[in-house]
Amino acid sequence: MTIPSLPLNDGHTIPQLGLGTSPLDDEETADAIVAAAEAGYRHIDSATRYGNETGVGEGIRRTGIPREEFFVTTKLDGEFQGEDRAIAGLAAALQRMEFEYVDLLLIHWPKPWEDQYVSTWQTFEHLKAEGLTRSIGVSNFKPAHLDRLAAETDTVPAVNQVQLNPYVLRLGEREYHESHGIVTESYSPLGAGAAKLLREPVLSAIGERYGKSPAQVVIRWHLQSGLVAIPRSGSVERIAQNADVFDFELDAADLAQIADLGGETGNDSDHTGH
């Protein structure tokens, strides 16, 4: 199985399905990556805040698969905003992973009240030019924050990683991203909390027709919607199941029914963070 990729605005590509690693620790992360690699994943999402970057590097080495075949993301949070703090932040992350570069570096939060995300982005541009990250992007940014980056810097983010699922559709943000060449990446793609989403009868009914679980139906919805999805799990079985979504296709009625779960509020909900 080969997971499809989407083009980024900088000439690179991003696999459409990845492994989310929050809140796994280093050992759990390494084990999950080995299981994910066996299931066909090559995209791993982490963050300094998660405290598992050492496990990311260890897990990838344990697979025996060359580093360059993986797409690795990490994120730097508020501690590394402003005054070129991201330089040391990425250096420390690379040291923990024992990598020379990451494929995607994200600003974890805009934190607009601190007014440092523009200068942080300029530091990210420098890190990209130095080859320490191949692509740069953001997480939890609103269109207003992206507009300011466009006005004051030279690089459009390759990705905006936001909480997105059939309950939280982000239609306005997705439209903005598409019109500006930004890939939308979904964290918590199966819903947050106690997985209320996966108990929706409509998902069970759709899944029964295809012989798939509600989670597989939702992941397929993300993929057919042109999104990148990074479901998180430490379970070998669920990791494999989440990747077993390329032998069926939802029809237009299925897609509409799933999107209807968002209702009126699904389009405008605030980010809850990750």
Instruction: Delimit the domains of the chain by residue range.
Output: 5-193+227-233
Q: Could you write out the DSSP letters of every residue in 72-124? A: EEEEE-GGG-STTHHHHHHHHHHHHHT-S-EEEEEES---GGG--HHHHHHHH
* Cβ within 8 Å of residue 102, ≥6 positions away: 72, 73, 74, 90, 93, 94, 132, 133, 134
Q: What is the mean pLDDT of residues 254-267?
A: 82
Q: What CA dihedral angle connects 18, 21, 27 and 30, to 10 degrees? A: 10
Q: Average per-residue pLDDT in the chain?
A: 95
Q: Is the dihedral of CA 125, 4, 232, 201 positive or negative?
A: positive
Tell which wins on pLDDT, 210 or 271.
210
CB 90 within 8 A of CB 133: yes
pLDDT in tens, 131-158: 999 999 999 999 999 999 999 999 999 9
pLDDT in tens, 179-223: 999 999 999 999 986 579 999 999 999 999 999 999 999 999 999
pLDDT in tens, 84-121: 999 999 999 999 999 999 999 999 999 999 999 999 99
Strands (E), 188-235: 228-229
Residue 274: predicted pLDDT: 67
Q: What is the mean pLDDT of residues 239-259?
A: 97
Residue 269: predicted pLDDT: 45
Is the pLDDT score of 268 beyond 90? no
By three-state DSSP, how is residue 170 classified? Answer: coil
Q: Could you write out the DSSP letters of every residue in 29-85? A: HHHHHHHHHHTT--EEE--GGGT-HHHHHHHHHHHTS-GGGSEEEEEE-GGG-STTH
Which residues are catalytic, by number? 50
**Percent of the chain beyond pLDDT 90?**
93
Q: Which CATH class is domain 5-193+227-233?
A: alpha beta
